Amino acid sequence: MNRRPDLGPKPHLGYTASLIDRAAHRRNEAAALASDARAGAYLVGGELIITRKRGEGGDPLFSLAEARALAPARETVLLGFLDGAPRFGLGIGKEDAEALKARADDFLVTDLRSIAVQGLVAPEHLPPIAEAKALLAWHARHRFCSNCGAQTNVSQAGWKRECPACKVEHFPRTDPVVIMLAIDGERCLMGRAGRFVANMWSCLAGFIEPGESIEEAARRETLEEAGIVCGRVKYFASQPWPFPMSLMIGCHAQATSTEITVDREELEDARWFTRDEVVQMFRGEHPEQITIPPPIAIAHHIIRAWVESDDVFA
């Protein structure tokens, strides 16, 4: 018999389940595709996403011609196709994005976190916006060759930069981050970073280092941040996280020690929480008003999977 709590229908994991067909083999046709009358574009200015105001929210998809008329693009990248129609991402200057933000009657311009958490655009737009934002963030940081210092040129519709001097090819990168919930029987380990909203606790997380496996990184980060030793690590799910260009790799980790030592450089605090307490957090009934991250974040799903499972390591 399942003794686990019923937390209702499972919410969608943010930025995943893109409807875009990336069609990598068509990236050499970008110039021709840009003249397709059905071509649509997302406009990104650093952290800001430009949308056309619609009620309380916004429509983030412009025709490519409209998008180009709003601000000069520093980079134009081909995201892929939706029902055969090309979809582009346009990277514009922060000052141009701020200027559009000032036109508050016409445009809703805000950061992607706010858009996602507050549901300001239709959910199907979130994955291609994440794709555009992460890819454009990579371009903004890689205009010069990391091998020889020369200015590089964009090719393959934004999926490559080539160095004319030393001929090295540079490809867009994703930074892997491990995010894990350490478990000790009926308790789980959560931490609070100073940057979190008040009363929110979450999984511990950190960048995977060169030469490290996912499992090793999960153990190292849990030990460094909270002093907890972990044995078995089980992969749960992953999520693109375009802040600026990460991949969150979600895991459950079996704790083999219990005494917490918090790294105050990384965390404000870390604590064990019982399963019953975590259920209260999901229901908004925790006595200290403690909350967990919203469903847009994979932490929500990692925590929920443990709450609902008899054994996440099975």
Residues binding Zn ion (CB under 5 A): 145, 147-148, 150, 163, 165-166, 168
Please, what is the minimum distance in Å from the beta carbon of residue 172 to Zn ion? Answer: 17
Nearer to Zn ion, 168 or 247 (CB): 168
3 state SS of 101: helix
Nearer to Zn ion, 12 or 173 (CB): 173
Residues 6+ apart with CB under 8 A from 70: 43, 50, 62, 92, 96, 100
Please, what is the minimum distance in Å from the beta carbon of residue 89 to Zn ion? Answer: 25
Nearer to Zn ion, 72 or 164 (CB): 164
What are 255's two structure tokens? 């704790």
Please, what is the minimum distance in Å from the beta carbon of residue 27 to Zn ion? Answer: 22
Please, what is the minimum distance in Å from the beta carbon of residue 167 to Zn ion? Answer: 7
170 - beta bridge partners? 161
Contact in structure between 143 and 136 (CB atoms under 8 Å) = no
Please, what is the minimum distance in Å from the beta carbon of residue 169 to Zn ion? Answer: 10
How many other CB atoms are found less than 10 A from the CB of residue 245?
Answer: 19
What are 66's two structure tokens? 């409209």
Preceding amide of 244 cis, omega within 30: yes
Nearer to Zn ion, 163 or 292 (CB): 163
Nearer to Zn ion, 17 or 165 (CB): 165
CA distances for 313 relative to 13, 217, 255, 309, angstroms: 21, 18, 12, 9
Cα–Cα distance, 253 to 51 (Å, whole number): 40
Nearer to Zn ion, 122 or 148 (CB): 148
Please, what is the minimum distance in Å from the beta carbon of residue 141 to Zn ion? Answer: 16
251 - beta bridge partners? 180, 235
